[in-house]
């Protein structure tokens, strides 16, 4: 009986067909792995594909048996084995050469989003291995009327240097404190942990410009390079000088300069020196203010083809919407201006950065915001602001390890920033690393004791460790120093947590007075209407609370209709339903927030607005999933810290 069965299997070549199918399935999986990585396929697609292939194997065996029974086979056994071998060879080739340069794929967190930073150089290289330089502000040898021009020229040189991924360049914000310096260059080099310090002078007179620049070794005070540029004063010459300085510094520091970076150093200059001057004036005005926008308009009036002025105007409009409550229509204008800038200069990082800010500020669209922020960072890997934006949008998408990676980059490039340390403190606290959070927050407080971001997240970190007394004291101090709606909203929430309902109402009304139509959405701050509504609800004024909740819902739903893809909007919708006691709706929105990257489960566990739904099965299930993802990210963050500690010890960096 068994012999007859074996003979029949042999006749139908079932073994050969099975091996050929398995080889083909393996090849198909390798192809899907390569293609899926390029297009960002979610895990569900891979799982479904594997199930189909497994089911197909049984179908193939049945068909092989059937066709063998009917005598329809036309392929010999050796031929089938040859086909299987060829398919296997193709699969091995894809495995070896399918990923970029054989690099290990970057792991994704359990939210399904990649933690792959838009990396030009590895984090360790930027922090420790790259040659590093601090280009000090240029000294103006002319009159007071030339100050904006000289400051802008310094920014231009920094911008050119920041395009070189193999060179770590300290930001203008951090080097400007040494403008009127008493410290020796060697001391500055130690303070900023750089290998070399650059300095120079600018003299502008008539139709001539003279620029002297030199580079000094930070350890020996020896001259590494120096050059004098004495040329006719024109926009083309000024743009040419900035590119020449960047190339010379890269050579002197023996930094790697790729062909792409070399090409990006040559930026199209404005056709008019007047346009250049107005753009320099714009850079000295406050971000988002009308004075800066007007200066950019004057630059464009002088030269309508000036790409950097279009990008600057785009950024100005986007910041107005984000920070100053300007109408969303300005975000539309910002996108149009940025797109026009990119038509003129496709490699303009500031235009991509403006697009990212506009998408989030206008419509809460974090996916394109992060995409454009990464692109800007790729084009200017040495610009701390580019990485700060990558960090912020990554945190919103639930990719906290990528966010920390970006913040570490930004902090190395801008080591004197309290603001960056404040944002890192929030993430460390949310990851359940309170000691690390307090360390970076205390560093930020030493740099700037009044920095609003540091103070806010110091209070936040204290609250997460159940030290509500200290958290509330910090919140009250923040309000005293910075009377902003956001700070009153947080103080109101903390007052409610300790049972001080009158204090909660007081701060909520102050927030409403400062931002009557505010929709400030963060991980730990409710919108103004929800903050005040919940305080009134706890005090028994349910009618007024319902009116405010309805107002908040209208704003939030409008935001969703405009394409908001962030978790904060969905979590706020959940908060409104939780306050009303609608547990099913609250859980539904929390699930949607989770899918959009919201992972701040600790707030959900502590915030009294969720008291009426906390403990329900659906609520606890969402919390459990968030907690598991945060634990995975916490372990990865600790691994990252350990790698950086090792690199620091190997390099002897403090």
pLDDT digits (tens, 9 = 90+) for 402-414: 999 999 999 999 9
Which residues pair with residue 215 across a beta bridge?
198, 225
Largest CA distance in the chain: 107
> Rounded to an integer, what distance in angstroms lies between the CA atom of residue 383 and that of residue 599?
28
Confidence of residue 100 (pLDDT cuts 50, 70, 90): very low
| Dihedral sign computed on CA atoms, order 126, 127, 133, 137 | positive
Is 130:168 a contact under the CB 8 Å cutoff? yes
Helix axes 452-464, 418-430, angle to 10 degrees: 20
pLDDT of residue 90: 55
- Supply φ then ψ for residue 257, to 5 degrees: -125, 110
| pLDDT beyond 80 at 31 | no
| pLDDT beyond 50 at 416 | yes
Give the helix/strand (H/E) hosting 76.
Answer: none
pLDDT of residue 310: 97
Per-residue pLDDT, averaged over 601-617, amounts to 92
> Rounded to an integer, what distance in angstroms lies between the CA atom of residue 126 and that of residue 540?
56
Per-residue pLDDT, averaged over 163-167, amounts to 93
Residue 276: CB atoms within 10 A of its CB come to: 28
Is 253:224 a contact under the CB 8 Å cutoff? yes
431-454 pLDDT, tens per residue? 999 999 999 999 999 999 999 999
Give the helix/strand (H/E) hosting 27.
Answer: helix 14-39
pLDDT of residue 183: 74
Confidence of residue 38 (pLDDT cuts 50, 70, 90): very low
> Rounded to an integer, what distance in angstroms lies between the CA atom of residue 577 and that of residue 581?
6
Residue 502: CB atoms within 10 A of its CB come to: 10
Name which residue leads in pLDDT, 136 or 33. 136
Confidence of residue 124 (pLDDT cuts 50, 70, 90): confident
- Of 104-113, 237-246, 327-336, 578-587, which range is least confident? 104-113
| pLDDT beyond 80 at 379 | yes
pLDDT of residue 395: 95
Question: DSSP for 190-229?
Answer: HHHT-SEEEEEEEEEETTEEEEEEEEEETTT--EEEEEEE
Give the helix/strand (H/E) hosting 135.
Answer: strand 132-135
User: Taking all residues of the chain, what is their mean pLDDT, rounded to a whole number?
Assistant: 84
Q: Report the candidate in 234, 152, 306, 205 with the shortest Cα–Cα distance to residue 298.
A: 306
pLDDT of residue 486: 84
> Rounded to an integer, what distance in angstroms lies between the CA atom of residue 539 and that of residue 502?
8
Is 460:426 a contact under the CB 8 Å cutoff? yes
| pLDDT beyond 60 at 42 | no
329-343 pLDDT, tens per residue? 899 999 999 999 999
Q: How large is the C-alpha radius of gyration of the chain?
A: 30
Q: How does 592-630 read in b/e, with b if 16+ C-beta sit within 10 Å?
A: bbbebbbbbbbbbebbbbbebbbeeeebeebbebbeebb
DSSP, res 129: I
pLDDT of residue 91: 53
| pLDDT beyond 50 at 102 | no
Confidence of residue 250 (pLDDT cuts 50, 70, 90): very high
- Supply φ then ψ for residue 183, to 5 degrees: -70, 150
Which tokens is 622 given?
A: 């969402």
Share of the chain above pLDDT 70, in %: 80
Strands 196-205 and 208-217, sheet pairing: antiparallel
Per-residue pLDDT, averaged over 182-200, amounts to 91
| pLDDT beyond 80 at 82 | no
pLDDT of residue 51: 63
Which tokens is 653 given?
A: 């960096």
CA atoms within 13 A on the CB side of 235: 19
Name which residue leads in pLDDT, 470 or 517. 470
Name which residue leads in pLDDT, 44 or 288. 288
Q: What is the pTM of this model?
A: 0.80
| pLDDT beyond 60 at 541 | yes
Helix axes 528-538, 542-561, angle to 10 degrees: 160
> Rounded to an integer, what distance in angstroms lies between the CA atom of residue 178 and that of residue 170?
12
Q: How far is CA 554 from the centre of its chain?
A: 29
- Of 15-24, 154-163, 196-205, 233-242, which range is least confident? 15-24
Name which residue leads in pLDDT, 640 or 71. 640
- Supply φ then ψ for residue 200, to 5 degrees: -175, 175
| pLDDT beyond 70 at 62 | no
| pLDDT beyond 50 at 103 | no
pLDDT of residue 101: 36
- Which alpha helices (H) appear in 397-541, and where do they start and end? 400-413, 418-430, 434-447, 452-464, 468-481, 485-497, 501-514, 528-538
Name which residue leads in pLDDT, 600 or 21. 600
Q: Report the candidate in 32, 25, 50 with the shortest Cα–Cα distance to residue 94.
A: 32
Which tokens is 97 given?
A: 């050469």
DSSP, res 610: G
pLDDT of residue 41: 47
pLDDT of residue 145: 87
Share of the chain above pLDDT 90, in %: 57
Helix axes 567-580, 528-538, angle to 10 degrees: 20
pLDDT of residue 96: 46
Name which residue leads in pLDDT, 67 or 243. 243
206-221 pLDDT, tens per residue? 889 999 999 999 999 9
450-508 pLDDT, tens per residue? 999 999 999 999 999 888 889 999 999 999 988 888 888 889 888 888 888 889 899 98
| Dihedral sign computed on CA atoms, order 331, 334, 340, 346 | negative
Per-residue pLDDT, averaged over 580-603, amounts to 94
């Amino acid at each position: 009986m068994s012999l007859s069965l074996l003979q029949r299997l042999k006749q139908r070549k079932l073994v050969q067909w099975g091996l050929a199918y398995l080889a083909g399935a393996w090849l198909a999986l390798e192809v899907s792995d390569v293609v899926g990585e390029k297009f960002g396929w979610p895990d569900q697609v891979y799982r479904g594909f594997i199930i189909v292939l497994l089911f197909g194997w049984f179908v193939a065996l049945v068909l092989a048996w059937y066709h063998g029974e009917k005598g329809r086979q036309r392929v010999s056994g050796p031929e089938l084995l040859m086909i299987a071998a060829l398919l296997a060879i193709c699969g091995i080739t894809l495995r070896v050469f399918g990923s970029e340069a054989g690099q290990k794929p970057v792991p994704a967190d359990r939210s399904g989003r990649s933690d792959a930073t838009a990396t030009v150089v590895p984090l360790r290289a930027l922090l420790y291995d790259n040659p590093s330089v601090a280009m000090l502000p240029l000294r103006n040898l002319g009159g007071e009327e030339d100050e904006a021009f000289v400051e802008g020229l310094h920014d231009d040189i920094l911008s050119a240097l920041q395009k070189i991924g193999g060179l770590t360049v300290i930001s203008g914000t951090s080097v400007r404190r040494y403008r009127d310096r008493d410290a020796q260059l060697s001391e500055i080099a130690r303070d900023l942990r750089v290998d070399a310090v650059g300095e120079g002078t600018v003299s502008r007179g008539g139709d001539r410009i003279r620029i002297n620049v030199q580079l000094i070794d930070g350890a020996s005070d020896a001259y590494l390079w120096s050059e004098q540029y004495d040329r006719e004063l024109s926009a083309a010459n000024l743009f040419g000088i900035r590119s020449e300085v960047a190339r010379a510094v890269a050579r002197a520091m023996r930094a790697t300069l790729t062909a792409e970076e070399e090409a990006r150093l040559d930026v199209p200059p404005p056709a008019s020196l007047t346009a250049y001057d107005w753009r320099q004036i714009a850079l000295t005005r406050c971000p988002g203010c009308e004075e800066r926008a007007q200066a950019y308009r004057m630059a464009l009036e002088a030269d309508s083809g000036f790409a950097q002025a279009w990008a600057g105007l785009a950024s100005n409009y986007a910041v107005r919407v984000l920070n100053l409550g300007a109408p969303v229509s300005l975000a539309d204008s910002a996108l149009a201006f940025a797109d026009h800038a990119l038509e003129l200069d496709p490699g303009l990082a500031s235009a991509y950065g403006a697009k990212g800010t506009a998408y989030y500020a206008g419509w809460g669209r974090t996916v394109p915001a992060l995409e454009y922020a990464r692109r800007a960072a790729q084009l200017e890997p040495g610009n701390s602001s580019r990485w700060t934006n990558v960090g912020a949008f990554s945190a919103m998408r639930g990719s906290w390890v990528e966010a920390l990676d970006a913040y570490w980059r930004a902090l190395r490039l801008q080591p004197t920033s309290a603001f960056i340390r404040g944002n890192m403190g929030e993430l460390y606290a949310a990851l359940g690393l309170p000691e690390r959070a307090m360390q970076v927050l205390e560093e930020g407080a030493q740099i700037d004791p009044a920095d609003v971001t540091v103070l806010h997240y110091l209070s936040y970190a204290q609250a997460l460790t159940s030290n509500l007394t200290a958290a509330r004291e910090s919140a009250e101090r923040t309000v005293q120093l910075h009377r902003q709606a956001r700070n009153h909203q947080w103080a109101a929430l903390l007052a409610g947590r300790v049972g001080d309902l009158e204090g909660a109402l007081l701060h909520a009304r102050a927030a409403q007075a400062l931002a009557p139509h505010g929709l400030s959405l963060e991980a730990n701050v409710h919108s103004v209407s929800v903050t005040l509504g919940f305080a009134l609800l706890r005090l028994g004024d349910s009618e007024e609370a319902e009116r405010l909740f309805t107002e908040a819902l209208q704003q939030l739903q409008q935001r969703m209709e405009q394409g908001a893809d962030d978790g904060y909007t969905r979590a706020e919708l959940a908060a409104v339903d939780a306050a009303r006691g609608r547990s099913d709706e609250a859980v539904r929105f929390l699930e949607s927030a989770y899918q959009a990257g919201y992972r701040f489960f600790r707030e959900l566990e502590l915030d009294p607005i969720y008291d009426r739904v906390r403990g329900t099965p659906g609520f606890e299930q969402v919390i459990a999933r968030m907690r598991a993802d945060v634990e995975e990210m916490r372990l990865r963050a600790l691994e990252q810290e350990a790698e950086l500690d090792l690199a620091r010890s190997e390099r002897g960096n403090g």
